[in-house]
Amino acid sequence: MSSQVGKKVIKNENISRNTEVTETINFSCLCDPLRVLRESPGSLFLLEYCQLTRQACLKAQDLWFAYEDSPVAALRGVSLTIGEGDFVALIGQNGSGKTTLAKHFNGLLRPTRGQVLLYGEDIRNRPVSTLARRVGYVFQNPDHQIFSPTTRDELAVGPRNLGLAETEVQRRVTETLASFGLKLYADRQPAALGFGLRRKISLATVFTMQTPILILDEPTTGLDYRSITELMELTRKLHHRGYTIILITHDMRVVAEYAPRCLVLRDGQILADGDTRTIFKQTDLLRETHLELPQISQLSRRMIPNGMPDDTLTVPEFCEAYSRLSH
Partner 1 sequence: MPIVVDLYIPRQSWAHAIDPRVKLLFVASAILVLLVFNNLFILLGALLLLHLIHWSARIPFQKIKFVWKTLLPVMLLISALWILFYPTGTPILQIWIIKITPLAIAQGLVLAMRILSMALAVFAWLYTTDQPSLVRSIVKMGLPYEWGLVLALALRYIPTFQGTYSLISEAQQARGLDISSGTGFRRVRMMMPIFVAMVISSLRASDQLAKALESRALGARGVRRTTLRDIHFRPVDYLYVVLILAITIGLLYLKFQYGLGVHSVNLM
Partner 2 sequence: MLKDITLQVEAGEFVSIMGPTGVGKSTLCLALNGIVPQSTGGVIRGDVLVNGLNTKRHPVADLAQHVGVVFQEPETQLFNMTVEAELAFGLESIGTPREEILERIEWALALVGMRDFQQRSPFHLSGGQKQRVAIAAILAMTPKILVLDEPTASLDPRGKTEVFSVVRQLRQQHGMTIIMVEHESERIAEFSDRVIALKDGQIELEGSPAQVFAQVERMQDIGLAVPQVSELAYCLNRQLNTNFAFTQLEEAHNVLTSWQEGHQK
Contacts with partner 2, residue ranges (CB under 8 A): 93-95, 194-196, 221-227, 250, 252-253, 290-292, 294-296, 298-299, 302-303, 306, 315-316, 318-319, 322-323, 325-326
Q: Please pick, from the candidates 57, 73, 132, 204, the single residue that binds partner 1 as defined by CB under 8 A.
A: 132
Q: Which is nearer to partner 2, 281 or 301 (CB)?
A: 301
Angle, vertex CA 273, rays to CA 268 and CA 277, nearest 5: 130
Write down the least CB distance from residue 200 to partner 2, Å: 11
Out of partner 2, partner 1, none, what residue 191 binds, judged by CB under 5 to 8 A for its kind, is: partner 1
Grouping H, G, I as helix, E, B as strand and the rest as coil, residue 26 is strand
Q: What region, left, alpha or beta, does residue 242 occupy, with left being phi > 0 and alpha being psi -120 to 50 degrees? A: left
Q: In this structure, how many other beta carbons lie within 10 angstroms of the beta carbon of residue 323?
A: 9
Write down the least CB distance from residue 185 to partner 2, Å: 13
Question: Among the candidate windows 8-16, 205-213, 245-253, 293-301, which touches partner 1 by CB under 8 A?
Answer: 205-213
Does 166 interact with partner 1 (rule: CB under 8 A)?
Answer: no
Write down the least CB distance from residue 196 to partner 1, Å: 16
Q: Which is nearer to partner 1, 162 or 286 (CB)?
A: 162
Q: Which is nearer to partner 2, 32 or 68 (CB)?
A: 68
Sorted by sequence, the CB contacts under 8 Å of residue 117 that are 6+ apart come out as 56, 58, 59, 60, 61, 123
Q: Which is nearer to partner 1, 202 or 312 (CB)?
A: 202
Q: Please pick, from the candidates 60, 90, 162, 231, the single residue that binds partner 1 as defined by CB under 8 A.
A: 162
Q: What region, left, alpha or beta, does residue 93 occupy, with left being phi > 0 and alpha being psi -120 to 50 degrees? A: beta
Taking the alpha carbons of 286, 232, 51, 140 in that order, is the dihedral positive or negative? Answer: negative
Out of partner 2, partner 1, none, what residue 132 binds, judged by CB under 5 to 8 A for its kind, is: partner 1
Does 210 interact with partner 1 (rule: CB under 8 A)?
Answer: no
Q: Please pick, from the candidates 21, 128, 308, 321, the single residue that binds partner 1 as defined by CB under 8 A.
A: 128
- Determine the Cα–Cα distance for residues 44 and 59; give it in Å rounded to an integer: 19
With CA atoms as reference, report the closest residue to 255 among 283, 275, 285, 234. Answer: 275
Q: Please pick, from the candidates 137, 207, 243, 258, the single residue that binds partner 1 as defined by CB under 8 A.
A: 137
Does 69 interact with partner 1 (rule: CB under 8 A)?
Answer: yes
- Determine the Cα–Cα distance for residues 321 and 206; give it in Å rounded to an integer: 40
| Amino acid letter, residue 42 | G
Q: Please pick, from the candidates 103, 171, 188, 236, the single residue that binds partner 1 as defined by CB under 8 A.
A: 103
- Determine the Cα–Cα distance for residues 207 and 182; give it in Å rounded to an integer: 13
Sorted by sequence, the CB contacts under 8 Å of residue 147 that are 6+ apart come out as 154, 191
Write down the least CB distance from residue 143 to partner 1, Å: 6
What track of x and - describes contact with partner 1 for positions 286 through 315 (by CB under 8 A)?
------------------------------
Largest CA distance in the chain: 69
Q: Which is nearer to partner 2, 75 or 296 (CB)?
A: 296
- Determine the Cα–Cα distance for residues 321 and 84; give it in Å rounded to an integer: 33
Which alpha helices (DSSP H) does the chain contain, by range?
2-13, 44-53, 98-105, 128-131, 151-161, 166-179, 195-207, 225-240, 252-258, 276-281, 283-288, 295-302, 315-325
Residues near partner 1, by CB under 8 A: 67-70, 103, 106, 108, 127-129, 132-133, 136-137, 139, 141, 143-147, 157-158, 161-162, 191, 205-206, 209
